[in-house]
Every structure is written in C-alpha cells, then in structure tokens.
A = this chain, B = another copy of it.
Amino acid sequence: MARSWWGWGNVEDAVRGAELDALLARARALAPGEPTGHEPPDVASLGIPAARLSPPPSLAALCSADPADRAAHAHGKAFRDVARNLLGDLPHVPDLVARPRAERDVVDLLDWCSGGRVAAIPYGGGSSVVGGIEPRFEDGRPAVTIDLTRLDRVLEVDPVSRAARIQAGVLGPHLEDQLRPHGLTLRHFPQSFEFSTLGGWLATRAGGHFATLATHIDDLVESMRVVTPSGVAESRRLPGSGAGPSPDRLFLGSEGALGIITEAWMRLRERPRWRAKASVRFADYAAAVAATRAVAQSGLHPANCRLLDAAEALVNAGVAVDGGVLVLAFESADHPVRASLERALELCRDHGGETPDEPADSDTASDTWRSSFLRMPYQRDALARHALIVETFETSCTWDGFDRLHRAVTEAARDAIRDVAGNGVVTCRFTHVYPDGPAPYFTVYAPGRWGAMVAQWDGIKTAVSEAIAAHGGTITHHHAVGRDHRPWYDRQRPGPFGAALTAAKAALDPAGVLNPGVLVPAP
C-alpha cells in the first residue's frame, strides 16, 4: 500500500471504475459538475524549493529533505487541502520531515528548534482539516515537521484496571491490532481512524465512536506524557482526581502549541458482546429532533444516536423519508441491551417515529451508512478531481437554540452556495448528542470551477462560521481549531482564558517554536 501524497488514504483504495461512475451519477444529481476529471500533478513537477536548513549531524538520520516527502506533509486532508494539492498550489512546505524513533529524539529535536527559532510542527496521521499541520506563518520561518508515526507501540497493558500505555504515533488499526490479543479495545473510531494517530486524537480532542457519554477522546485518558521545550510533563495514572485544575485537560486540545504528546495511559474496555440496533423514520424533522432529545435525556446512553436529515438519509443511507432517520445502537460487553433499545424506540414512537416491528442485531440503513462513512474521504477525493466541492463543517449547541441555529446555518450555507456555485445541497446529521444539546454536522455538495474551488469553499465556510458564531455554537465540536478556525475561535474563547493560555505557552515554549499561530498568535 502507498499513501497518496495529495489526497486521502492509500492510492490503491481510490475510487475508480464502476464505483466512480455510480458516484459521479449520484453526485451530479446533487450538484452538476465538470464532465472530465483532472489528474493530480506529479509531485516532481511542483518545483518544491530546497530545504532552507540542515539538521545537526546528531539528528540527520531522523530527517528527510526529500521534496515528495515534504510535499506530502505540507497540507492536511480537508477539501481545501486536496483542492490545493490537485492544483499544485503548495506555497508552504516544511523544510524537513523528522521521524523520531524514541522520546529522546523528540526532546533533541525541540532543543534544536528552540535554539534556532525553527518552527516545530507535530504531525500524527496528517488528517487535520483545519490547517493544523501546515507550515504557514506570517514570518515565513523555516519549519521541521515532526512525524511521530515511528512511535507506534503499545508499551504496557494493565488488564486489571483495563488500561494501556501507548505511544502517541500509533495509527488506529495498528493500535487495535496490538490490543486485540489482550481482549481489550480503545473503541475510538473517528472517521479518520485508519490514518490518524492516538497523539493526534489527544491533541485535537477527537470525537469518536460513542454518540453519548465518552464522546471525545478526553474521557478515555488516564494520564499523558508531553515533551515541552521546558521539560517533560507526565501526569499520574489516576481514575479520577480533584487536585487542582486537571493537567491533562490543558494538553488535551493543545494542538501541538504547548508540547508534543509522546505517550498516554488510555482507558480500555472489552469488546461488546451484546448489541441491538434499529433505525427510526420520521415524517417531520422537528419531531425527529424532539425524539432524539428525549433519547439523549433518557439516561439510556446509546452507543449510536445519529439523526440524519432527509437529504443525508437519501445521499448516504439510501432512505427516502420526509423528516429524517434516527439511527440507534446499543452495545455492552456485560449485559443484554435489548431493553434499552426498546425503551428508546418507545420514546421515538411518542414523537411520531415509525419504528421497525422487530429490532434486529443488524439494520440496513445503519449498515449502509456505516460503509459509506468509511468510504466518504475517498469519494470526496474523486469528486474533487471532477471539480465538485464536497466538504463538511460541524458545531454543537444547546437544544433550546438548535432550531434557530440550524435554520440560520442552513440558510447561510444555501445563500453562499448560490453565490459562489449557483446551486448545491447542504445536509445535516448529528454525530453526538448530549442531555443539553446535539452536535450537528453539515455536509455541502456544490459544483466547483477548476482553479477557483478553494475560494468558493472559503466563501461558504466563512458564511456558515459567521452564522454558527452568531447563534452561540462552537466553531468546532471535534475538528480542532488549527489555523483556519482561529478568527472564530478567538471570538468564542473567553478573553482572560486566552491571556492565560498565551502565558502558559510562553512558559512552556519560551522560544515560540511549537506550531506557531495555532490556538494563540505567534509571538
């Protein structure tokens, strides 16, 4: 398998042939695009400039100055990254890619960067969708991308407490492969699972498998080890503590600006033995939302509780419905969960939901949705090559404000799509739900113009971000802040907290080398 330098995942898994034909037919029904596809440029043709710095001899063996390697580390995997790559638009490429083999290497790399005011960009699987790993700085200083994927081992397993000490650079599948012989699993499955790392999940507060309770990776953390230019921070393994503000919660979501996470003790669980799932159809979206709220507030804690609006249901689950489809699943390693599902279905019927006669261990709508979920990034790449804009954005808000936010965001998206692309579609699903509100996730399909797609998308993104901010949503529920969300993050973040975070960064990273411009202004 070979990783694509410009798009998602493995080259061999790209959408082609009959799958591509069918995909294009479906997509053009939503958003008519250009008739012919474009080939990604040969990386050798991009004229990547030579590295502006050389590593010291002691670090040379860790570092690559290869242009293709550097180009592959220049951008994340958002639509705007893929679109720029397809156009060969790579103005900011790291000067070196360093691959530490041990924590000591990370310490030495940061020492070297701090000594020379070289930017250090921590890099896991590279799946950022917010410009979080892009060496784009106002002062244009040289940059080393520190790719942690060689730190990929499960170092220790504690079967009694159900926890493991895990190196941060491990990719999702390799992590689960190492836990499986112990009968344990982290059960954290972001959409990027195959091509993102534990350290990346922690640094960006990734959203995972569970729609309720442990929605973010945060709650699965027992302790962390973080290399900062001012020393290594290691928290104690504790199931819970009230000793001052949580040290881990400062580094969770720090996006490489405060330190480089090298390992963590993570809470694990046994694989589920009992499962029950069902999908519920609603003729009315408001009723579907009310039913979802009732389930979220019931204390039943479904593992999945994903409300697809009518467009989302049609596009990704193959279900034609007027209001929406609620996909429900319960799971447990300890006890049957059928009664929980039955009660959730009863709540749905109270709100006019059409429930299946007999809940089953499998469910067609949710199975269809699941397989398309994993395939989506590859499909996005194929559509981008045909000048189709396919991108997502997400937020969360309280239930009392959801209707207004949903209406405002949808209208802003439609207006912007009309302005920049003439026509298109915006769909909505809930990825996670809480007793006090949902996390709505929107997808946009719009026809692009080859060469203008990034500006088109930026127009849509700015409009929807303004609508989210105006209606009290968060600029991101689980996609991080990076460089792209900074304008809205700066408005959302309480001012004194911003001052505290800036001061904390100055204390930990006095030379200001760690991922400059992410979360706080570059010094």
Contacts and interface: CB of A to CB of B under 8 A. Distances in A.
A520 to B, nearest CB: 9
A334 B245 contact: no
Given A222-B436, A269-B435, A495-B231, A243 B162 contact: no
A364 interface: no
Contacts of A253: 242-246
A96 interface: no
Name which of A255, A397, A435, A489 has the most chain B CB atoms within 10 A of its CB. Answer: A435
A53 interface: no
A140 to B, nearest CB: 25
A400 interface: yes
Count this chain's copies in the assembly: 2
A352 interface: no
Interface in A132-167: 158, 160-163
A343 B336 CA distance: 10
A160 B259 CA distance: 40
Chain A interface size, as a band, is 35 or more
Given A233-B494, A235-B494, A255 B244 contact: yes
Nearest to A496: B233
A213 B479 CA distance: 25
A188 to B, nearest CB: 14
A85 interface: no
A245 B252 contact: yes
A408 interface: no
A477 B241 contact: yes
A437 interface: yes
A237 B481 contact: no
Given A161-B399, A335-B298, A507-B499, A243 B474 contact: yes
A231 B494 CA distance: 10
B236 A472 contact: yes
Given A158-B398, A222-B398, A259 B439 contact: no
Interface stretch (A34-42, A71-79, A115-123, A204-212): A204-212
Contacts of A493: 243-244, 247
Given A161-B399, A267-B436, A503-B504, A334 B298 contact: yes
A492 B163 CA distance: 20
A30 interface: no
Given A335-B300, A439-B239, A500 B508 contact: yes
Interface string A178-207: 000000000000000000000000001111
Interface in A395-440: 396-400, 432, 434-439
A519 B477 contact: no
A241 B205 CA distance: 9
A299 interface: yes
Interface in A488-523: 489, 492-497, 499-504, 506-508, 519
Contacts of A235: 494, 497
Nearest to A301: B301
A520 B373 CA distance: 47
A228 interface: yes
A508 B496 contact: yes
A423 to B, nearest CB: 32
20 contacts: A160-B400, A215-B240, A216-B242, A236-B474, A238-B396, A239-B398, A239-B434, A239-B436, A240-B432, A242-B474, A243-B253, A243-B481, A243-B492, A244-B493, A244-B519, A245-B501, A250-B250, A250-B497, A301-B301, A500-B507
9 A-B pairs with least C-beta separation: A239-B437, A239-B434, A503-B507, A233-B494, A500-B504, A249-B249, A205-B242, A233-B496, A247-B497
Given A161-B399, A244-B255, 7 more contacts: A163-B436, A233-B497, A239-B434, A242-B474, A242-B477, A250-B497, A269-B299
Interface of A: 158, 160-163, 204-207, 213, 215-216, 222, 226, 228, 230-247, 249-255, 258-259, 267, 269, 293, 297-301, 332-335, 339-340, 343, 396-400, 432, 434-439, 472-481, 485, 489, 492-497, 499-504, 506-508, 519
